[in-house]
A and B are shown apart, each in its own frame.
Chain A
Amino acid sequence: MTTIEAIKKQSRGDKPIEPLIFEKHVAGVIGVDFPPLDVSETEVPEGVAGGSTTLPSFGQHDVMAHYTHLSDRNFSVDGNFYPLGSCTMKHNPRINEWGAALPGFACLHPLQDDDTIQGALRLLYETRTMLEEIAGLHEVSLQPAAGAHGEFTALKVIRAYFADHGQPNRTVVLAADTAHGTNPASCTMCGASVETVRTVNGQTDLEHLKEVIAIIGAENIAAFMITNPSTAGLFDANIKEIADIVHEAGAKLYLDGANMNALLGRVRPGDFGADAMHYNTHKTFSTPHGGGGPGSGPIAVTEELAPYLPIPQVMMADDGSFYLDRSRDKTIGKVRSFICQFGVLVRCWSYISACGPKGLRNVSETAVLNANYLAAKLCTTYSMPFFDPKNGKFCAHEFVTVPQTLLDKGVTLIDIAKRMIDYGVHPPTMHWPMHDCLMVEPTETESKQALDSFVDVMLQIAEEISSEIELVQQSPLESDIARADEVAAARKPILTFK
């Protein structure tokens, strides 16, 4: 077979399959060079010297080509409408990247003395205080590396608080049946057990909450983890009552801040009774998702929980200088190495500073408006269990659709999602928080034109289901690969190239 024939066989559409780096290896060629050694050599003793590793290499131009070709095979916020519910795929401003790459930020060693990193500490201190104000809570720790890590850290703080107050038996954490999977998983990591609280119409079932507390015993409960707006994309109108019930039980209210994009400048979690929360800067504050990370998950807590926060904490001294403080007797200790996701927090500072207080409020208002606009345009074709604007039932920054009438025509939810790929739209979150649902979060940074063309795509797919159903069933037809066999991948996992 000639090369051209091989490429034709492999590729679909106009994007050729990129060989693996292991298949491109050229012995003896590498992509960069080194200066000659300028000191005398010291022999490596036989006991410690290793054999050769088997990492492939090739020339620099082909390195560029390899990753350029791979990048061509990715959907992204830059290139595609990306309405992933609960993930807040908003625009990632490049001024943030510019700032984080400044050598005065990027080239700092994490163990340097405070007097050499005053600018960095000032940025962290300002970020800390801004996040405290947005949360309406007493103190923020910037240490957690991501949202789930923030949950873990805050739960440790809550457990330490109770242990210190003679209530070590408070080891049960309540979570909604629609909670993010990280909530219960974080509880397990903290040695806490999880009890589920029912939701009705996307909101916490108050009676069930009381019932669960009564069954488990108020004295055994550490916290209730709630997401507000809920994962169904609705503001919990009973949030104040929920906080009262939780506090009456002597427990703490934990806010999963994944949906803060709907609250910015409108509601402060501390004001509705949250005792602790985490942010996801990669959702709310525009730091890039990077194909799965890095994130950053600062937590905010009340004054009574603050003594237990991890160390070090960034502080401002009386003379206006900044320092890292380790003197916190009751701290839970450290949850990661060094200080925080500094480079991510530079971007976060840049974003919050760009928006300012009015801009942040406009962010949440526009995010909510965009979601309601899409929902209003689509709700007659794509059924929405919680959306009924004529009766004052709106969604927050995202909405759930269970397109039952379309599914009844003989397609699956996955068929619809994969057909969206053909139209250059990244599929929304699927099958969560309800079975057979799509959860759509457009974010505030989409233009009206982008929203309207998404509506056109969704209506077109609905039309195709009526007229040419096999187009949808066989999709994606336009993407560079057909559907991946995920079942086979899991049955006999191949995780490395051999």
Chain B
Amino acid sequence: MDYTQLNITQRQEMYDTVGIRSIDELFDAIPSEIRCDDGLDLMPALSELELQRSMAEMASHNHGAHDMSCFMGCGAYDHFYPALIDQLISRGEFLTSYTPYQAEASQGSLQAFFEFQTQIARLTGLDIANASLYDGATAVAEAALLAINTTRRKEVLVASTMHPEYIAVLRTVLSDLDIKITMLDATDGVISRATVEAKMSDAVAGVIVQSPNIWGQIEDWDGCFEEAHSVPKTAGIAVFNPIACGMLKTPGACGADIAAGEGQPLGNALNLGGPYLGLLSAKEAYTRKMPGRLVGMTNDEEGRRVFCLTLQTREQHIRGAKATSNVCTNQGLMALRATMFMTTLGSDGIKEMATQSWHKAHYLAKEIAKLEGWEMKYNGDFFNECTFTCPCDVTKVVEFCKSRGVLPGVAAAGRRMQGLSTGDELIIAVTEKRTKYEMDALVALLSEVSA
């Protein structure tokens, strides 16, 4: 079904109104030699029942967090979210609306995005946030550009412990812009303030450090950003996990000027990596250079408190080549999920989620560390994710666990990790969803495979 709704009589009436005899007349402007009159070479149409069958069949060939025990993290986490989110988000008034350019017809979306911006700013401990970007990686790239455009400097310092895909995207985005990326080498899995100090100069626009980092280790944001601030106006850019903000020191509390992160853990499904939610938050001074949509509070002509998109002169549809970013479509629905999630849980609920993740990850780490030959790669503080060096080939570990219905973690040497490692490290994430039973089962499997 192509979802059109006209019958033959109606079409004929419409032809008559337009003054045509056949539909082809409307396409006369297209030169005949480029017309595709033989039709497209695609499979014939499927009915809705056949679509249901086909999609259910394809979905049945996938195994993931729904039918396996998932300990994978590295930027995407199998967190719990309340059932009401799926119900509310499917309301057509949210789902099928457009960007709220017409304030008088869009107060629902606008108020929700305003609440979202406030929640994200409170979560990061900073002043403002935008209404979302594509994902964590692009949010980091936009954060770097924000620092570069604010300072007009040509260098960024980047923690080598950041997610390798975020580094890869940052490289792509900055590659034709004459910006130097200087990597900060890690000591014991983290960036030391001395390393930042050694690389700082007045050419540096921003210092980008992710915490918890790709190994799960908590970084010394305070120290790194203090060094960043040894040069006036250099931005400390914190790449954060929003759930961790529920119990750990926030980017703002650690002296960050800009915070960028992946918002997937806030009520969004794993979705094989998308659609996700790019979060960008900053100090007030960055307001007029922020990329993406911003919702502001204002009054209507009758003095009522209302909301509207604001500072649109930053944006591509007004400013063109001089816009602060090319971003137009954002992740509105994912932001809406996130704000519903944060409203349902509040500070207490997110703290509970973070705390349970912490305790469970530490329980599991202690249990694995008891196994013969299993060594924690780094001994610093971690949140919900830690790295072990396997006593045997990591691929063997992963394959064995998979065969028993467990996704044991992410192999650091995996081909998707951009050459992060060539060793046998396994990065293991634990959320509040994992039970003691599942963790004990994983430990038993690891013990068995490495025996």
Q: Does A198 contact B (CB under 8 A)?
A: no
8 A Cβ contacts from B1-28 to A: 1-6, 10-11, 13-15, 17-20, 23, 25-28
| A338-B362 Cα distance, complex, nearest whole Å | 27
Question: 1/0 contact trace for A363-399 toward B, CB 8 Å?
Answer: 1011011101100110000000000011010100000
**Stretch of B150-158, B189-197, B228-236, B348-356 contacting A (4+ beta carbons < 8 Å):** B348-356
Contacting residue for B360 out of A39, A194, A289, CB 8 A: A39
B9 — nearest CB in chain A belongs to which residue?
A448
| A36-B151 Cα distance, complex, nearest whole Å | 49
Judging by beta carbons under 8 Å apart, are A292 and B96 in contact? no
Q: Does B423 contact A (CB under 8 A)?
A: no
Task: Knowing A50-B245, A495-B117, say if A181 contacts B320 (CB, 8 Å).
Answer: yes
Judging by beta carbons under 8 Å apart, are B358 and A421 in contact? no
Min CB–CB distance B191 → chain A (angstroms) = 15
Judging by beta carbons under 8 Å apart, are A116 and B63 in contact? yes
Min CB–CB distance A448 → chain B (angstroms) = 5
B133 — nearest CB in chain A belongs to which residue?
A145
Judging by beta carbons under 8 Å apart, are A239 and B34 in contact? yes
Q: Does B428 contact A (CB under 8 A)?
A: no
Q: Does B299 contact A (CB under 8 A)?
A: yes
| A104-B66 Cα distance, complex, nearest whole Å | 7
- Which residues of A sit under 8 angstroms from B373, Cβ to Cβ? none
| A444-B5 Cα distance, complex, nearest whole Å | 8
| A250-B251 Cα distance, complex, nearest whole Å | 49
Min CB–CB distance A445 → chain B (angstroms) = 5
| A280-B297 Cα distance, complex, nearest whole Å | 31
Tier of interface size on chain B: 35 or more
- Which residues of B sit under 8 angstroms from A369, Cβ to Cβ? 6, 11, 14-15, 18, 23, 26
- Which residues of A sit under 8 angstroms from B82, Cβ to Cβ? 31-32, 60
Judging by beta carbons under 8 Å apart, are B42 and A356 in contact? yes
A424 — nearest CB in chain B belongs to which residue?
B105
Contacting residue for B64 out of A112, A272, A389, CB 8 A: A112
Contacting residue for A119 out of B59, B163, B262, B317, CB 8 A: B59
Contacting residue for B42 out of A92, A357, A376, CB 8 A: A357
Contacting residue for B98 out of A28, A237, A291, CB 8 A: A291
Judging by beta carbons under 8 Å apart, are B273 and A342 in contact? yes
Judging by beta carbons under 8 Å apart, are A312 and B416 in contact? yes
Q: Does B203 contact A (CB under 8 A)?
A: no
- Which residues of A sit under 8 angstroms from B310, Cβ to Cβ? 486, 489-490, 493, 495
Task: Knowing A159-B176, A427-B102, say if A109 contacts B48 (CB, 8 Å).
Answer: no
- Which residues of B sit under 8 angstroms from A52, Cβ to Cβ? 347, 351
A189 — nearest CB in chain B belongs to which residue?
B326
Judging by beta carbons under 8 Å apart, are A75 and B97 in contact? yes
Question: 1/0 contact trace for B101-135 toward A, CB 8 Å?
Answer: 01111111101111101110111010111011011
The 15 sampled A-B contact pairs (Cβ below 8 Å) are A32-B82, A38-B436, A57-B347, A58-B346, A64-B84, A71-B94, A103-B67, A111-B416, A182-B328, A235-B29, A337-B135, A337-B276, A354-B46, A356-B43, A376-B19
- Which residues of B sit under 8 angstroms from A80, Cβ to Cβ? 105
Question: 1/0 contact trace for B50-85 toward A, CB 8 Å?
Answer: 011011111111111111101010111010101010
A67 — nearest CB in chain B belongs to which residue?
B88
Task: Knowing A53-B250, A74-B109, A119-B60, say if A108 contacts B272 (CB, 8 Å).
Answer: yes
Contacting residue for B305 out of A17, A97, A234, A235, CB 8 A: A17
Min CB–CB distance A453 → chain B (angstroms) = 14
Judging by beta carbons under 8 Å apart, are B298 and A485 in contact? yes
Min CB–CB distance A334 → chain B (angstroms) = 4
A173 — nearest CB in chain B belongs to which residue?
B321
Given A78-B93, A342-B273, A376-B17, output 10 extra A-B contacts at Cβ < 8 Å. Answer: A31-B346, A50-B248, A74-B107, A104-B58, A145-B275, A185-B325, A289-B97, A343-B271, A363-B2, A485-B299
A51 — nearest CB in chain B belongs to which residue?
B253
| A484-B298 Cα distance, complex, nearest whole Å | 7
| A421-B320 Cα distance, complex, nearest whole Å | 28
B138 — nearest CB in chain A belongs to which residue?
A336
Q: Does B144 contact A (CB under 8 A)?
A: no
Judging by beta carbons under 8 Å apart, are B104 and A53 in contact? no
- Which residues of A sit under 8 angstroms from B91, Cβ to Cβ? 67-68, 71
| A57-B122 Cα distance, complex, nearest whole Å | 13
Most-contacted residue by chain A among B28, B95, B132, B329 (CB, 10 A):
B329
Judging by beta carbons under 8 Å apart, are B334 and A332 in contact? no
| A373-B308 Cα distance, complex, nearest whole Å | 34
Contacting residue for B272 out of A271, A338, A482, CB 8 A: A338
Question: 1/0 contact trace for B217-230 toward A, CB 8 Å?
Answer: 01000000000000
Judging by beta carbons under 8 Å apart, are A130 and B349 in contact? no
Q: Does A402 contact B (CB under 8 A)?
A: no
8 A Cβ contacts from B142-181 to A: 163, 165-166, 168-169, 171-173, 175-178
Q: Does B342 contact A (CB under 8 A)?
A: yes
Judging by beta carbons under 8 Å apart, are B45 and A185 in contact? no
Min CB–CB distance A457 → chain B (angstroms) = 14
**Stretch of A148-156, A299-307, A464-472 contacting B (4+ beta carbons < 8 Å):** A148-156
Judging by beta carbons under 8 Å apart, are A265 and B36 in contact? yes
| A53-B248 Cα distance, complex, nearest whole Å | 10
Q: Does B333 contact A (CB under 8 A)?
A: yes
8 A Cβ contacts from A121-144 to B: 122-123, 130, 133-134, 136
Tier of interface size on chain A: 35 or more
Q: Does B393 contact A (CB under 8 A)?
A: no
Judging by beta carbons under 8 Å apart, are A497 and B41 in contact? no
Give the 9 A-B CB pairs with smallest separation, nearest first.
A57-B346, A104-B59, A356-B45, A338-B273, A110-B273, A290-B333, A78-B92, A119-B61, A292-B332
Judging by beta carbons under 8 Å apart, are B247 and A148 in contact? no
Most-contacted residue by chain B among A159, A234, A357 (CB, 10 A):
A357
Judging by beta carbons under 8 Å apart, are B98 and A293 in contact? no
Task: Knowing A266-B36, A292-B100, say if A146 contacts B17 (CB, 8 Å).
Answer: no
Task: Knowing A78-B96, A113-B398, A188-B321, say if A337 contacts B57 (CB, 8 Å).
Answer: no
Judging by beta carbons under 8 Å apart, are B274 and A181 in contact? no
Judging by beta carbons under 8 Å apart, are B103 and A484 in contact? yes
Task: Knowing A134-B40, A335-B169, A354-B45, say if A293 contacts B62 (CB, 8 Å).
Answer: no
Judging by beta carbons under 8 Å apart, are B40 and A361 in contact? yes
- Which residues of A sit under 8 angstroms from B118, Cβ to Cβ? 22, 496-497
| A194-B416 Cα distance, complex, nearest whole Å | 35
Min CB–CB distance A370 → chain B (angstroms) = 8
| A441-B314 Cα distance, complex, nearest whole Å | 26
Q: Does A403 contact B (CB under 8 A)?
A: no
- Which residues of B sit under 8 angstroms from A427, Cβ to Cβ? 102, 105
Q: Does A352 contact B (CB under 8 A)?
A: yes
Question: 1/0 contact trace for A161-179 toward B, CB 8 Å?
Answer: 0000000000000000000
- Which residues of A sit under 8 angstroms from B441, Cβ to Cβ? none
Judging by beta carbons under 8 Å apart, are A74 and B347 in contact? no
8 A Cβ contacts from A9-51 to B: 10, 12, 17-18, 20-22, 25, 28, 30-32, 34, 37-42, 44-45, 47-51
Judging by beta carbons under 8 Å apart, are A30 and B344 in contact? yes
Judging by beta carbons under 8 Å apart, are A291 and B31 in contact? no
Q: Does B238 contact A (CB under 8 A)?
A: no
B221 — nearest CB in chain A belongs to which residue?
A48
Min CB–CB distance A166 → chain B (angstroms) = 17
Min CB–CB distance B314 → chain A (angstroms) = 10
- Which residues of B sit under 8 angstroms from A67, Cβ to Cβ? 88, 91, 94, 112, 340
B47 — nearest CB in chain A belongs to which residue?
A354
Q: Does B137 contact A (CB under 8 A)?
A: yes
Judging by beta carbons under 8 Å apart, are A113 and B2 in contact? no
- Which residues of A sit under 8 angstroms from B362, Cβ to Cβ? 42
| A84-B105 Cα distance, complex, nearest whole Å | 13
Judging by beta carbons under 8 Å apart, are B59 and A102 in contact? yes
